Amino acid sequence: MFSSPAGQAVAISVDVARLPLEVGVKQAVLIVGGTADRALLVDWTGNFTRQRFVDFQTASGEDATGATLFLEGGEQVNLNSFGTGLLPGAAVTLTGQLVWPDGRRCAVRIAPDAEQVRCQSSP
């Protein structure tokens, strides 16, 4: 909550450079104002997204190095050399497939609180 002078716009901004890597914003600046002096209550929580790091492994426990995660719904996440990817925060279990450049693939189920996920079958 803050005060807004009559007839003046106030800019609320996010210092994007200081946000943790897993926090994103849809809009970095919000302009608010009014025609009268008043206090404004702004709920800008919908402007922020939270992602999470998840480590992926083969069914035998090896890092899923070089794989790409294809989530149901079409989102694609490239994993790093440790088999880690930055996924959207989700309140439900996500499903998808890990696919390697050599054509190997395996199914994965990613629980909302999962930090590590193993293939459900051998790639």
Q: Provide φ and ψ at 55, rounded to 5°.
A: -95, 130
Q: Residue 35 has what pLDDT?
A: 60
Average pLDDT of the chain to the nearest whole number: 88
- Consecutive H or E run containing 21: none
CATH number at residue 103: 2.60.40.1120
Q: Report whether pLDDT(56) > 70.
A: yes
Beta bridge partners of 99: 68, 105
Q: Residue 69 has what pLDDT?
A: 98
The verdict on 113 and 58 lying in the same domain is yes
- Beta-carbon contacts of residue 123 (< 8 Å; ≥ 6 apart): 58, 59, 98, 100, 104, 105, 106
Tokens of 45: 């929580």
Q: How confident is the model at residue 61 (pLDDT cuts 50, 70, 90)?
A: very high
Q: Residue 38 has what pLDDT?
A: 67
| Tens-place pLDDT, residues 100-111 | 999 999 999 999
106 in any annotated domain: yes
Degrees (nearest 5) of the Cα angle 24, 115, 50? 15
Q: Report whether pLDDT(31) > 60.
A: yes
The verdict on 78 and 30 lying in the same domain is no
Domain enclosing residue 33, as ranges: 2-42
Domain count, the chain: 2
The verdict on 57 and 27 lying in the same domain is no
Q: Are 57 and 82 in contact (CB under 8 A)?
A: no
Q: Rounded to a whole number, what is the distance in angstroms from the first to the last CA of the chain?
A: 53
Q: Pick the residue with more confidence: 53 or 40?
A: 53
Q: What is the pTM of this model?
A: 0.72
The verdict on 63 and 112 lying in the same domain is yes
Measured distance CA(38)–CA(3) in Å, rounded: 6
The verdict on 37 and 68 lying in the same domain is no
The verdict on 55 and 111 lying in the same domain is yes
The verdict on 56 and 87 lying in the same domain is yes
